[in-house]
Amino acid sequence: MTVRLQWPGRDDSPLDPSGRLDLVHDADAPHGTLLEGDNVAAMRALLSTHAGQVGLAYLDPPYMSGADYVHEGVRARAYGDRWADRGSYLDMLWPRLRLVHALLAPHGTLWVQVDHRASGLVQPLLDELFGPERLRNVIAWRRAPPLGRQVQSRQFPRNVDLLFAYAKGGGARWHPPVTRVPLPSRAARQDPATGRYFTLAPRGDYTDESVARLEAEGRIHRTPSGKVYVKYFVEQGEDGTLYKPRAVDALWDDVAPLRHAPPKERTGYPTQKPEPLLQRILEATSDPGDLVLDPFAGSGTTAIVAARLGRPFVAIDQSDVALATASTRLEAAGLRVRRERVAS
Ligand SMILES: C[S@@+](CC[C@H](N)C(=O)[O-])C[C@H]1O[C@@H](n2cnc3c(N)ncnc32)[C@H](O)[C@@H]1O
């Protein structure tokens, strides 16, 4: 059974390729392309040359916040996020999601980041496009600490963004990230022979065969009474702090809000996202060489992270303030960027 979100302006007419965009991303060519203009026109032009070729798409669209955003440095309006109603917001979003879907490669993954205002609309649209079985994750990222007015209001602070990740097909990239959490030093023991620190856990349901294999790897500890424990080695930081590896789950409260990013990362663009957020997304669900698309590029966070990780990028924005911010940022990072204007 297909569940469809219906609204008065819903338009499902075909979105055909229109115009043409050739991207050159080889060894001597630019690291990526910055397209200036409306992203529907840009993606329709890309469709004629790159349908089914995008390895990862990240969308950070307007959130239906009802606000106008101003660049904090140049004090110029960057973009507006005001909509007559939810229907007009969907009129904007639906064709763009359909175009991204058509551009994605069979192994590609789409990420869409919104907050509580649009998340309930975005998920049914993505379920319809990709199929609910292609939903890989809904990630909760704490984008700001609970402070100020947020704490005074008679509700829990609305400081979380949701990231929806959908795979286009069955063979989507997956490189599970691991993070590290500090460990009190009393929780670990030191191996007198190697000096390495480890924690201990009961053998649980490890078979005798597995215990023998772990023993050969130096990972078995036996108590004087003969009880078997498995050793888990931990890392030691330069300052001596011990860290335990931990699989990253769907709650991302370890990616610091932008306000805690180093000053040279902060561009003053009003809704800029932190580079570590994009780094986690790109490393987990794309490979070097995969084409990365960001149709709502803003200050160019996806582009700069993609280039740093060896992924060619196409970033699109219609705001002059966004394009100026992204260009300055990418040039300062020493990247070769091709800029092209797309006619609407
Ligand atoms: C939330 S911001 C993106 C911020 C970005 N992720 C960053 O880290 O800086 C959304 C961006 O989408 C752009 N935008 C909105 N509608 C657009 C459209 N139809 N075509 C192209 N860009 C659009 C806005 O100008 C704005 O820069």
Could you state, in chain order, the average pLDDT of each consecutive group of 10 residues for the chain (344 residues)?
Answer: 92 92 67 95 95 97 97 95 98 98 98 98 98 98 88 89 97 94 89 89 93 93 92 91 94 95 96 98 97 98 96 96 97 92 88
Q: Give the per-residue pLDDT at 44.
A: 96
39 Cβ closer than 6 Å to some ligand 1 atom:
yes
Residue with the smallest CA separation from ligand 1 atom 3 is 298
Is the C-beta atom of 301 inside 6 A of ligand 1?
Answer: yes
As a whole number of angstroms, the distance between CA 199 and CA 191 comes to 10
pLDDT on residue 170: 92
The closest alpha carbon to 302, from 324, 332, 319, 280, belongs to: 280
State which H helix or E strand residue 255 sits in.
none
Measured in Å, residue 319 CA sits from the centre of ligand 1 at 7
For residue range 181-239, list pLDDT tens digits in order. 999 888 899 988 888 999 999 999 999 999 999 999 989 999 999 899 999 999 998 98
CB of 38 within 6 A of ligand 1: the answer is yes
Q: Is 325 in the pocket of ligand 1 (CB under 6 A)?
A: no
Q: What is the Cβ-side half-sphere exposure of residue 248, based on CA atoms within 13 angstroms? A: 19
The domain defined by 32-177+248-341 folds into Rossmann fold (3.40.50)
Please report, for the chain, the start and end positions of each structural domain, with discontinuous segments joined by +. 32-177+248-341, 179-245
Question: What pLDDT, on the 0 to 100 scale, is given for residue 137?
Answer: 98
What pLDDT, on a 0 to 100 scale, did the predictor assign at position 66? 96
Range 229-232 contact pairs with CB under 8 angstroms and sequence separation of 24 or more = 229/200, 229/201, 229/202, 229/203, 230/200, 230/201, 230/202, 230/203, 230/204, 230/206, 231/191, 231/198, 231/199, 231/200, 232/198, 232/199, 232/200, 232/201
Please indicate whether residue 267, judged by its CB atom, sits closer than 6 Å to ligand 1. Answer: no
Q: For the chain, state the CA radius of gyration.
A: 24
Place of tokens 């949701």: 162
Task: Supply the pLDDT for residue 151.
Answer: 80
- Distance, in Å, from the CA atom of 326 to the CA atom of 330, rounded to the nearest integer, reads 6
Can you spell out the DSSP letters for 147-176? -THHHHSSS----EEEEEEEESSTT-----
Residue 250, helix vs strand vs coil: coil
Tokens at residue 317, please?
Answer: 């924005």
Q: Ligand 1, from 71, 79, 275: best to mutate by most atoms within 8 Å of Cβ? A: 79
Q: Which of 302, 259, 248 is closest to 111 using CA atoms? A: 302
**CA-to-CA distance for 328 and 297, rounded, in angstroms?**
14
pLDDT of residue 232: 92
